Structure 1
Amino acid sequence: MAEEYLVADDVMSPVYTEQSAVLIIIEHTHQPVELQDGILKLISYAPHGNLVNGNAMDEESGEFKWHVSFVHDTNLREGEYISASNYNSYNDRVDGDRFEIQIRYHRKIDAFRALGKILGGARDYMVLTGIHGDLVNFREKTQFDTQGVMIDCSRNGVLRPKSVYFLLNNMALMGLNMLQLYTEDTFEVEGEPLFGYLRGKFTTRELASIDDYAFDLGIEVMPCIQTLGHMGQTLQWQQYAHLRDNTEVLLPESEATYEFIEKLIQSAASPFRSKRIHIGMDEAHGVGEGRYRQLYGYKDSSQIFIEHLQRVTEICTRHSLQPILWSDMLFCLAAKNNSLLGYYDQTNNPATPELVSNMPSNAKLIFWDYYHTSSDIYSQKIQQHRDMGCPDPWIATSVWTWNRFWSALPFSFEAIRASTVAAKDKDDGVRNTFITIWGDEGNECDIFSALPALIYYAQHGYCEEKEVDIQVLKRNFEGICGASFDDWVTASKIDDIPAGTPITSRSTFASNMSKWLLWEDPFLSFLSPQYADEDLETHYATIEETLSKAILEKTASNPLNERLELPRRIAMVLSLKCFLRKRCVEAYKKKDYSQLLDLTHGRLTLLRQEVDGLWKYHRKMWMKTNKSFGWEVLENRYGGLRTRLETMFDQIVAHVDYITHTKIDEDEDEDEENEHKRIPEFEVDLECLYYGAKTNLLLDHARVVSTSRPG
């Protein structure tokens, strides 16, 4: 049974809202040398300020003091750790003894996960009773060798190094031990100034610093690039035209291509300690069908793909790197279907003897599935990957961050659970997994809204059961991230209707309603028939009020709740925008010009002010989180919305002025009439474009900004 109560409206969390009464003390110089630098990083990060270095501690602070120490224990199994205290109750101490917690660990990452659980325990209301034993005595064993995070740094948003450090601190305290920064062209390659040109690419020095920071926390940073498809950002320039098969895909069989790929692999791998590299190769649609066919003639696309993979893995082997790659093209090419249906078709098994014999033995396949909420398909696809000659495939799940402003957390929880339950199956599971955070369609989303999903994913990785303890999860989120789990899940409602959208075993995606409502042209509002039956004004006003309260009343105890300001502002804007055109049209058709002006100078003017506030806040958040390059893409969207609202205002005011101050000639020829005599945008009856679940839509900016296609 899925944990539906994760997103219930009235779940009481077992955390208290006052500042922590517990001071967690670590004398870092007395700990194993391999932990010391990481401990100092986590002390500096701790969101509640309740993790301190014992060498510089104010003895008078804190109602309760927990003294934590670490012991590296090679007798423990790989990925196992134990946390134990010397007393069960704080009040049981005698003769001024300290309340001590000893953490025995095998891997560095597990020591820091134990510390994260202790930070969570310090937020539990049971602390106030003085009985602390249940909060600090526990043992866990990871279900995976690798449990990591991949974050998209190629869709406009390239994280600032300090943002990566913030993510790494959270990962360490959750027990996640691998990071991939997805970089199509956003890393430095010597002698290639147009690779990542004006895109805010990472420098080699920045990546080396990130690797050093992660190493101190027990986290591997794996280079993550593309070596076939998804290369359009580079191939758009004339200087790289000789490398094109088509606008997105590199040209297989060309020696120039492999010289270029080798340069990319060397540059991507050089800043990192890791001897693994993610070479991508997903969604290489049209491979072999563009310039390739003109130059080399027809060849089956599956054969082209395999031969290209052999060349790329040979390069990796020469540089002592073990490649991993997405598996979708192997399935899609075999099915002759580039859609996700070709990938997820359970009857599609490309494991022919020819393919198996030609698969590079050192290449590890990754099955990525972000869409299914039942474990069955994951289990079957794991076996199909093994059939292809990959005995130890990887699985990638995801947080739904793409094409939206805030993570779709309820759907993410269900998809993550389905994936990880299959992945940790004792008989048929896998040893390596990671969770992706994509930024498709501009990286508009606050990428750190994914944190509740990350901790949920991490929690599954440290328990054998199909369900996790939700109350422990919530207190750990507050202790580690410094935010309220329930409030962050509530923010996901900006993409939902008032009654919510049920998530069933047949659900395969999460709506991005707040996005298409925001960017939809306000003057045309051509999607308004989709939500005509929903009271979205009240819905968004309620969300805005709830998030305002979560920010104002909880930021002192949950400082990261301040990030709820973005969805709060979006909710405010949408409460004003969603039925604005409808109200204006009603007044226009009734010729109620007083009401039309009231709407224009009232609601429309307020909406313009709120849009300006949203734009400036979003810009501020972007600049703190990401490098400045890439923001221009979103700013052009805000600019378009702002100017359309201004045009709407001007046209309405000019129309009312003309009608109320001009003698109207009813027999005037239509071609000769004044342009302000009518408002044509208000005279069109709108049609419902999408039937069925009319609001359950996933639409991109180009689709919602206008009904007119460019070109």
Structure 2
Amino acid sequence: MQLYFKGDTSSITDGLKLLSNRFNIQLSTDGYPIQVRNQQGPLRAANKSGQGEISFEKPIHFFRALGLWLEHFQTITEFDLTENPQFTMSGVMLDASRNAVPTVNEVEKLLQQMAVMGLDTLMLYTEDTYEVKEYPYFGYMRGRYTLEELRACDQYAANLGIEMIPCIQTLGHLREALKWNYAQSFKDTDDILLVDEPKTYEFLESCLRAASEPFRTKRIHIGMDETFQLGLGKYLEKHGFENHVDLMNRHLQKVVSITDRLGLKPMIWSDMYFPLFAENSPYKDDSGSIRKDILEGIPDVELVYWNYYRSEQEVYEQDFQNHKLLGSSPIFAGGAWTWNGLAPNYGKAIATTEAALAACKQEGIKEIFVTLWGDNGAETPFAAASPILQLFAEHTYQKEVSIEKVSERFEFCGDGHFTDFMNLKLLDETPGVMKDNMNSSMTSKVLLYQDSLIGLYDENVRGLALGEHYQQLVPVFEKAKQENPAWEGLFDLYEQLARVLADKAEIGINILEAYRNSNYEQMKSILITMDRIQANVDLLRKKHRDIWFAAYKPFGWEVIDIRYGGILTRIDSVKYRIQEWLEGRISRIEELEEIRLRHDGPWEMVDGVAGGNVYHRIVTAGNFSL
């Protein structure tokens, strides 16, 4: 379709060129006319009397409005749509630190999708995956971004009206960065920096310069979450015990003095200040307010409240009110639940997002973003988060949002069927798991990786008929693959995963039954099934590899390769053990003589198969790497 945009187009011309292929439009003075107005107020997309109209305040509003205009122009001759943005910032945080480092091309694809949806901010979460020239081992062999790569991403984003904000860590979550010898003198524990050590702040100044230099923004996320062991390592040996809130404040003051020198405006995750909010908090005065001396000790930083666990709106409202005791409204970070394991947990993502964003609107929160974490290997492709990005986008522009509306818009913005995507949650939301998988059972990951002979989770899945469940999913994903051609590779991956689990989910239970009954014929049949599982797992690995190398740098795939390789070689050994028993060379299979117990690890959930997205606790009861 040829379009002619006239009027206030100077701020959107470069972005239009980038998006023309995605929108399937050509820019021509001979095209259908659309009058463009850059003005304050709601965004507007209209078509009347043979001419289009688009009004926008920020460039990102224009690109969303253009999407609305094109979507409606396909079916309606005349229309007049307006939307009022509910937030001043609404964006995405993409994890580039858990093995998967998206390529520049993949970041650009995400930026295009965000522009069409109307999301205006992108953070790349980089613990050690950006280049710091003074520390060559920082991010070594981890796929770190160069300054030039980040600068290219920032320029691309700016053309689309999207602000890119660096997102790093300046206290904890630095295990991979601190594992090398260069960091021995300034680390407190394996993943936390040593507070008050001069070399710590030399290191951080280099990091802050390197992380901020590629970007035009002055905002920077400096992390500081989940430092539960702060001051309990080398700091304790050198200085004795000190309360973590005091340590946090003093360290934060030192870091903020660096960001001040660099002209940066920092934000931090707020969770380490949660002890201030407790009802019996020693940090409150008699009136229930945070003590003045505590408030004066917290530097001028923006607080980011993250929560993607609760489905009760009142929980978020109370937490927002608590944050306001510190003097300002926080930024809110929700979650797309791309880190459940091998498949997205859409049920929990939607339930928590609906509650949280309703609370944001109720409490006047103005800035939000959705996190795409990749815990324990980034096994779920980040692209699977697209329906949840659409959910955030619709909440950004509407007071009330229905899933039907999200689904309708995803057809256009995401080029896929929302209902087909929702079926992916059934890989983990299996029989035995509560609605919406609120306890984060990662059934598919457990059943793929667990050993077929030792079967640490076999007692958890006994009687749930999970093999039949996964067998029924195979044609569901096969059909989705056909009906979502833009997402063929993703549905092909999950179709193959379902095919593997249809056989593997209960294979350990079947092996044990045949062994205890001395049923040699059944065991011979199981060997044939094991051959099929082995072939299908290798095919799954290859399909997963295709998706990985299309989207990410190669570094990190070796971890996933080793995991798949572990499944394949263990199947080989399981077949060997069974064959030895069948042919009488051994009288007992010791692994099968052990009495089976339910998996009872620290992450075990009340109703699910298993929680705790940790590979090494799935594959063995032994000591995996120490």
TM-score, structure 2 as length reference: 0.94
Which position in structure 2 is the counterpart of 1:570?
Answer: 497
On the 8 A contact 1:399/1:450 being kept in 2, the answer is yes
Which position in structure 1 is the counterpart of 2:68?
Answer: 117
Which position in structure 2 is the counterpart of 1:702?
Answer: 616
CA distance in 1, matches of 2:35, 2:299: 42
CA distance in 2, matches of 1:588, 1:470: 49
Which position in structure 1 is the counterpart of 2:170?
Answer: 227
On the 8 A contact 1:119/1:479 being kept in 2, the answer is no
Give, in angstroms, the shift of residue 393 of structure 1.
Answer: 1.4
Q: Residues 569-600 of structure 1, C-alpha deviation per residue, up to 9 Å, x if partnerless?
A: 11111111011122223223333322311220
1:223-372 → structure 2 map (5 Å cutoff): 223-332=166-275, 351-361=290-300, 363-372=301-310
Which position in structure 2 is the counterpart of 1:625?
Answer: 551
Which position in structure 1 is the counterpart of 2:21?
Answer: 44
Instruction: Note if 1:418 corresponds to 2:361.
Output: no
Give, in angstroms, the shift of residue 461 of structure 1.
Answer: 1.2
Q: Residues 333-392 of structure 1, C-alpha deviation per residue, up to 9 Å, x if partnerless?
A: 88799xxxx9xxxxxx8933221111213x111111110111112111112112123x13
2:526 to 584, 599, 602: 599
Give, in angstroms, the shift of residue 119 of structure 1.
Answer: 4.4
CA distance in 2, matches of 1:173, 1:26: 17
Matched letter for residue 37 of structure 2: H
CA distance in 1, matches of 2:11, 2:186: 45
Matched letter for residue 365 of structure 1: L
Instruction: Note if 1:677 corresponds to 2:610.
Output: no
On the 8 A contact 2:60/2:160 being kept in 1, the answer is yes
CA distance in 1, matches of 2:254, 2:279: 23
On the 8 A contact 1:484/1:561 being kept in 2, the answer is no
CA distance in 2, matches of 1:219, 1:68: 26
CA distance in 2, matches of 1:532, 1:577: 13
Q: Residues 398-423 of structure 1, C-alpha deviation per residue, up to 9 Å, x if partnerless?
A: 11111411211111011011111111
Matched letter for residue 687 of structure 1: L
On the 8 A contact 2:276/2:290 being kept in 1, the answer is no
CA distance in 2, matches of 1:243, 1:617: 42
Which position in structure 1 is the counterpart of 2:462?
Answer: 532
Which position in structure 2 is the counterpart of 1:388?
Answer: 326
On the 8 A contact 2:434/2:607 being kept in 1, the answer is no
Residue 289 of structure 1 aligns to a residue whose secondary structure is: coil
Change (3 A) 1:255 1:103: same
Residue 12 of structure 2 aligns to a residue whose secondary structure is: helix
Matched letter for residue 369 of structure 2: F
Which position in structure 1 is the counterpart of 2:52?
Answer: 101
Which position in structure 2 is the counterpart of 1:455?
Answer: 390
Change (3 A) 1:298 1:275: same
Change (3 A) 1:105 1:533: same
1:16-35 → structure 2 map (5 Å cutoff): 23=1, 25-27=2-4, 32-35=9-12
CA distance in 2, matches of 1:377, 1:354: 28
On the 8 A contact 1:28/1:40 being kept in 2, the answer is no
Which position in structure 2 is the counterpart of 1:644?
Answer: 570
On the 8 A contact 2:188/2:232 being kept in 1, the answer is yes
Which position in structure 1 is the counterpart of 2:285?
Answer: none
Q: Residues 116-160 of structure 1, C-alpha deviation per residue, up to 9 Å, x if partnerless?
A: 22344467xxx2xxx443xx5210011111111001000011000
Residue 194 of structure 1 aligns to a residue whose secondary structure is: coil
CA distance in 2, matches of 1:650, 1:280: 49
CA distance in 2, matches of 1:184, 1:70: 45
CA distance in 2, matches of 1:227, 1:698: 26
1:174 to 105, 108, 117: 117
Which position in structure 1 is the counterpart of 2:435?
Answer: 502
Instruction: Note if 1:436 corresponds to 2:371.
Output: yes
Which position in structure 1 is the counterpart of 2:26?
Answer: 53
Q: Residues 493-519 of structure 1, C-alpha deviation per residue, up to 9 Å, x if partnerless?
A: 10021476224xxx8542211111111
Larger Rg: 1
TM-score, structure 1 as length reference: 0.83
Instruction: Note if 1:404 corresponds to 2:334.
Output: no
Give, in angstroms, the shift of residue 448 of structure 1.
Answer: 0.9
Give, in angstroms, the shift of residue 164 of structure 1.
Answer: 0.4
Change (3 A) 1:351 1:188: same
On the 8 A contact 1:119/1:476 being kept in 2, the answer is no
2:596 to 686, 690, 695: 686
468-477 or 27-36, which deviates more: 27-36
Give, in angstroms, the shift of residue 193 of structure 1.
Answer: 0.9
219-228 or 576-585, which deviates more: 576-585
CA distance in 2, matches of 1:518, 1:334: 42
On the 8 A contact 2:5/2:36 being kept in 1, the answer is no
CA distance in 1, matches of 2:214, 2:289: 36
Matched letter for residue 444 of structure 1: E
On the 8 A contact 1:481/1:560 being kept in 2, the answer is no
CA distance in 2, matches of 1:474, 1:203: 37
Which position in structure 1 is the counterpart of 2:44?
Answer: 82
CA distance in 1, matches of 2:310, 2:578: 47
CA distance in 2, matches of 1:70, 1:372: 45
Change (3 A) 1:119 1:703: farther
On the 8 A contact 2:453/2:511 being kept in 1, the answer is no
Give, in angstroms, the shift of residue 192 of structure 1.
Answer: 1.5
Give, in angstroms, the shift of residue 696 of structure 1.
Answer: 5.6
On the 8 A contact 1:302/1:334 being kept in 2, the answer is no
Residue 151 of structure 1 aligns to a residue whose secondary structure is: strand
On the 8 A contact 1:403/1:441 being kept in 2, the answer is no
Change (3 A) 1:335 1:416: same
Which position in structure 2 is the counterpart of 1:12?
Answer: none
Q: Unpaired segments of 5 or more residues in structure 2?
A: 282-287
Change (3 A) 1:68 1:514: farther
Matched letter for residue 536 of structure 2: E
Residue 272 of structure 1 aligns to a residue whose secondary structure is: coil
